């Protein structure tokens, strides 16, 4: 039994006594203890692929801050790495694939990896985190979206506008949709394996869906995420397993995302959360959405930012406080402490 199920109840739009809070990338380079563990591991990938060390860094922010959830430490690109594309991280450059998908024969040869074999290290991490938490707070599992994974798989690395992917979308749409189809089945299997291992909520990160035009977004991103929501396990141990969808830059499509069947929509910082609530009504919970850059200012600015987001959402349940994207590397840990304290203290007036 969960000792603190505030996050789960908020995601299901059930009454809570305060607004729960967790942060995207809450285990990361802004924490000195994370940097020490990563140095011991030798690299980001070595850290992520060692369940003992990945569990250690997953729990580090909870030792510092009274957060309402743990999110398993991993990366959104684990699936294409398990497909054999050769994931690597160059210092200061971000992720890069050694074998990007450019040839039709390579695309047609893609297969869904077995989570219990090629992604065993993630599944073991989820199980270890769940055991270590001992029911104190829920553990969140996650994956990249099919389209976001495809962006990296085809381009080979991050990009501002992913020209190779978009050329494939227009010149050879059947090839892109084949990648998306395989990715979709892979994400469903991967998230279900995380749920089976102990994840009590799951989130799909659609980092690059917002770069698409509306019709393309609905066809190439949201349509596949809706299939994921339909395909993942919805209950475990007699409790609902809530699903969260996050499209960075997806504010124009909130109604469509809310109609996908997910339990919660995560917002980036470009959307007013009160206006978003008016648009989606009671269909879904909302997660977010303080600008991560606010955490680079002083603690009072952080408290003011928290107050503004809480006031915009207003009274009632169905709000999970988070950032509009991940914690940045140079964030002072004391500002994260100020944020968590302010959310827990100031949100009670709204419940």
How confident is the model over 15-58, as pLDDT tens digits? 999 999 999 999 999 999 999 999 999 999 999 999 999 999 99
How confident is the model over 103-156, as pLDDT tens digits? 999 999 999 999 999 999 999 999 999 999 999 999 999 999 999 999 999 999
- Give Cα separations from 78 to 217, 228, 342 (angstroms): 23, 17, 34
Residue whose C-alpha is closest to residue 274's, from 231, 240, 329, 318? 318
Q: Record the tokens describing residue 218, joined without a space.
A: 């609905």
- The pLDDT assigned to 90 comes to 73
Q: Indicate the pairing of strand 239-240 with strand 94-97.
A: unpaired
Q: Please name the helix (run of DSSP H) or strand (run of DSSP E) that holds residue 9, with its range, or none.
A: helix 6-11
Q: Helix, strand or coil for residue 223?
A: helix
Could you tell me the residue ranges of all domains in the chain? 1-25+270-351, 27-64+69-248
Residues 6+ apart with CB under 8 A from 270: 249, 251, 324
How confident is residue 188, by pLDDT bands cut at 50, 70 and 90?
very high
Q: Whole-angstrom Cα distance, residue 136 to residue 1?
A: 9
- The pLDDT assigned to 92 comes to 67
Q: Helix crossing, 173-197 with 120-133: angle to 10°?
A: 40
- The pLDDT assigned to 160 comes to 79
How confident is the model over 59-107, as pLDDT tens digits? 999 999 999 999 999 999 999 999 999 999 876 668 889 999 989 999 9
The residue to which tokens 């707070």 are assigned: 137
In terms of residues, how long is the chain?
351
- The pLDDT assigned to 1 comes to 84
CATH no. for 27-64+69-248: 3.20.20.210
**Average pLDDT of every residue of the chain:** 96
Q: Is the dihedral of CA 37, 40, 46, 49 positive or negative?
A: negative
- The residues annotated with a catalytic role in the active site are 25, 29, 38, 75, 152
């Amino acid at each position: 039994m969960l000792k603190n199920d505030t996050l789960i109840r908020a995601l299901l739009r059930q009454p809570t006594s305060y607004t729960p809070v967790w942060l995207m990338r809450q285990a990361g380079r802004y924490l000195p203890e994370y940097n020490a563990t990563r140095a011991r591991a030798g690299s980001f990938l070595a850290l992520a692929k060692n369940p003992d060390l990945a569990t250690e860094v997953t729990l580090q922010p909870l030792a510092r801050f009274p957060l309402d959830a743990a999110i398993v430490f991993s990366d959104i690109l684990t699936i294409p790495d398990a497909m054999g594309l050769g994931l690597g991280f160059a210092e200061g450059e971000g992720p890069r694939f050694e074998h990007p998908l450019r040839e039709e024969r390579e695309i047609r040869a893609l297969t869904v990896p077995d989570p219990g074999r090629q992604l065993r290290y993630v599944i073991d991490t989820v199980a270890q985190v769940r055991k270590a938490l001992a029911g104190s707070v829920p553990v969140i599992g996650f994956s990249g979206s099919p389209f976001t994974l495809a962006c990296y798989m085809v381009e080979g690395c991050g990009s501002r506008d992913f020209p190779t992917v978009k050329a494939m979308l227009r010149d050879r749409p059947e090839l892109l949709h084949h990648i998306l189809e395989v990715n979709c089945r892979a994400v469903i299997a991967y998230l279900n394996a995380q749920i089976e291992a102990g994840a009590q909520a799951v989130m799909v990160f659609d980092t690059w869906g917002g770069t698409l035009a509306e019709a393309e977004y609905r066809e190439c991103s949201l349509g596949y995420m809706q299939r994921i929501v339909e395909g993942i396990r919805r209950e475990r141990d007699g409790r609902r397993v809530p699903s969260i969808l996050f499209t960075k830059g997806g504010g124009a499509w909130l109604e469509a995302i809310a109609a996908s069947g997910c339990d919660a929509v995560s917002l980036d910082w470009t959307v007013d959360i009160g206006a978003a609530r008016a648009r989606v009504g009671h269909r879904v919970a909302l997660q977010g959405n303080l600008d991560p850059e606010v955490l680079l200012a002083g603690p009072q600015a952080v408290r003011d930012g928290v107050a503004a987001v809480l006031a915009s959402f207003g009274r009632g349940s169905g709000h999970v406080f988070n950032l509009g994207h991940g914690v940045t590397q140079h964030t002072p840990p004391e500002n994260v402490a100020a944020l968590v304290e302010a959310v827990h203290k100031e949100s009670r007036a709204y419940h």
